[in-house]
Chains A and B, each alone.
Chain A
Amino acid sequence: MNLLEPIVQGILLGGLYALFAAGLSLMFGVMRIVNLAYGDFAVLAAYGSLVVINVAAVNPLVALVVVAPLMAVLGYVLQRTVLQRTLGASPLPSLLVTFGLSIIIQNALLLFGSADQQRLSLGAIDTASVELPFGVRVGVFPLGVFVLAVILLGILSWITARTQYGRLVRAVSDDPDTVTLQGANPKIIYGVATAIAFGLVAIAGVAAGIQTSFSPSSGSMLLIFAFEAVIIGGLGSLWGTLGGAVILGVAQTVGAAFAPAQQILAGHIVFLLFLAFLPNGLSRRKVRA
C-alpha cells in the first residue's frame, strides 16, 4: 500500500485542524477559558457565510471578509459582557456558560435553518487538484488552507513574541493583577484575544464548510478535533498546536487508508496514546493550573 498519499493528505487536513485549534489554544492560554462552544461558533460562522452568499450572491471567500470581522466583534462583546464574569479561581463557571452557549447556538441554528447538511462551494476550485512530486495528487483547496494556516499561525506567533500587545498577553497569562499595575486593562487584553480567536474560528468554519459539510450539530466534532490537536501539540505553544493538528490529520487519513470506516477512531487512538505517554504534548511544557 502506498502510504505517501494519505500522509500528505493528512498533513493538509492538519492545516484545517490547526486553524481550529489556534483560537482554542489562545483563549485557554490567555484567560484559562475552555470554550466548549468553540466548534459551534465555527458552524455559526459557516451559516453566517451561507446567509451572506444567498443575500449578496458572492463566493464564500468574499462572504468570509464580512463574516470574520463580525465574528471578531461578536467575540469581543461576548468576552466583555459574558465570559469576563465567569473568570475566577474555578474553571467551572466558564465551562458551564460555554456549554450553555453551545446548546443555544445549536438550537438557534436548528430553529432558523434546518437539520440538513449544508455546503459552501467555490465552484471549480472545490475539486481542482495539483500533482506534487512522487505522483501525489492533492486538492488545491486543502493545500491553500494549509498554507493559510501556516501563515496565520506565523502572524499570531509574531504578534505574541514581538509586539506590545503580545507582551501584555503573555504578561496577563502570568499575572493579571500586576498587568494592571503597568497601566493596562486586562479586560481589553482579554477582549482582543477573544476577538482574534473568533476571527480565526470564522476562517476555520468557512474552510471546513467548503472542504466538507456542516449542520447545526457538527460543532461538537470540530471541538473534539481542536482539543485533540491542542493536547497532542502541548498547551500554550502555537507551533506545537500545528504539529499536533498535523499528527491528528495524518493519523486519521492513514487510519482511513487501512479501514475507511475507522478514520475518526484512528485519530482518537493516537490522541489517547499521547495522553497516556506524553501528557504534556509535543512541546513538553508544563502548564500552570
Chain B
Amino acid sequence: MLNVSGLTAAYGQVTAIRDISLAVDAGGILAVIGANGAGKSTLLKTIAGLLPATSGTIFFDGDDITRRSAFDRVRRGIALVPEGRRLFPSLTVQENLQTAFASKRKGAWTLDAVYDLFPLVAERRHRRAGNLSGGEQQATAIARALVTNPKLLLLDEVSLGLAPAIIADLYARLPDILAQGTGILLVEQDVSQAMKVADSVHCLLQGATSLTGKNLTMADISGAYFGVDKK
C-alpha cells in the first residue's frame, strides 16, 4: 500500500533523513524506532506531506504522491497523528473530530464508532480540547485521524509524556484499527512497546536506516539504536 524508496528530506540546508526505504501493507504494522533526533518524526511528516521530499519517491496505492499536497494525501487515505497531538484548543473535542470530515472520506469510522473505541473521548466531547489531560488529548488526536477513515495511519510518539497505564490502554486499541484493514506506521521511542505491537521494525540512526527486519532481538536493536557496533 505504502512504498517509500530512497526518501531524503531536509530542513533548509540540514538533511534530516537520508535514503529511507520502507513499505507498509494493508492491515500491517511497522514500527520506526530510534533515539531523539534520529529523524523519526521527520519521516512521518514527509510521508504526510508537511515537509517536501528533496529526493526519493512515495507511492501510495500505486500512485506517486511525492509531490502531492498534505490535504490531498489525507483525501487519498493517509492520516497523521502529529507529534504533540496538535488539537485545535479553541474547539470542543467533538468539533475537533468533525474537522476531519473535510477529508470527505466515508467508512467505518463514524463519530459514533470512534466514541465506542474511546469511551473517554465520548465523555469529554463537549469540553474544549485545550482543557484535556495528556492521555485524553492523545486519544482525541487518534480519534480525529480515524474520522478521516484512513487506509494508512501514521502515529507519532503516542506514548510521549503519558503514564504507562494510559499508554497500554491506547496501544490496546490498535488491533481494532488494524481489523478495519488500516495499515499503521508508528514512531516510538519506547522500543519494548513498539516491539510488542509491530510485525516488523525499522530502526533509524542519525537520519539513516541502521536496521530493519522482523523478530529482532533486543541486542540487535540496541546496537542499531545507539550506533554501537556489536562486539
Contact = CB atoms under 8 A, between A and B. Distances in A.
B99 A180 contact: no
Contacts of B88: 170-171, 174-175, 178
A182 B91 contact: no
A174 B80 contact: no
B46 to A, nearest CB: 14
B98 A183 contact: no
A171 B102 CA distance: 12
B86 A183 contact: no
Given A170-B88, A174-B90, A174-B91, A183 B100 contact: yes
Interface string A163-199: 0100110110111011111111100000000000000
Interface stretch (B21-29, B68-76, B169-177, B206-214): B68-76
B101 A164 contact: yes
Given A164-B98, A164-B101, A185 B71 contact: yes
A181 B75 contact: no
Interface in A12-37: none
A81 B151 CA distance: 34
Contacts of A178: 82, 86, 88
B143 to A, nearest CB: 12
| B interface bracket (residues with beta carbon within 8 Å of A) | 20 to 34
A181 B82 contact: yes
B148 interface: yes
Nearest to A177: B50
B82 A182 contact: no
Contacts of B102: 164, 168, 179, 182-184
A175 to B, nearest CB: 6
A185 B75 CA distance: 11
Contacts of A171: 88, 91, 95-96, 99
B124 interface: no
A284 to B, nearest CB: 15
A183 B90 contact: no
B104 interface: yes
B74 A182 contact: yes
Contacts of A184: 71, 99, 102-103
B202 interface: no
A167 to B, nearest CB: 5
Given A174-B90, A175-B88, A182-B148, A167 B98 contact: yes
A183 B49 CA distance: 11
A248 to B, nearest CB: 27
A176 to B, nearest CB: 11
Nearest to A174: B88
Contact of B74 (A167, A177, A180): A180
Nearest to A184: B102
Given A167-B99, A177-B50, A183 B105 contact: yes
B104 to A, nearest CB: 7
B223 interface: no
Given A182-B101, A183-B148, 16 more contacts: A164-B98, A167-B91, A171-B96, A174-B90, A177-B86, A178-B86, A179-B99, A180-B49, A180-B71, A181-B50, A181-B145, A182-B71, A182-B99, A182-B102, A184-B99, A185-B71
Interface of B: 48-50, 69-71, 74-75, 79-80, 82, 86, 88-91, 95-96, 98-105, 144-145, 148
13 contacts: A170-B90, A171-B91, A171-B95, A173-B90, A174-B90, A174-B91, A178-B82, A178-B88, A179-B102, A180-B70, A182-B101, A182-B148, A184-B71
* Ranked 5 nearest A-B pairs via Cβ: A183-B103, A184-B102, A183-B74, A180-B70, A174-B88
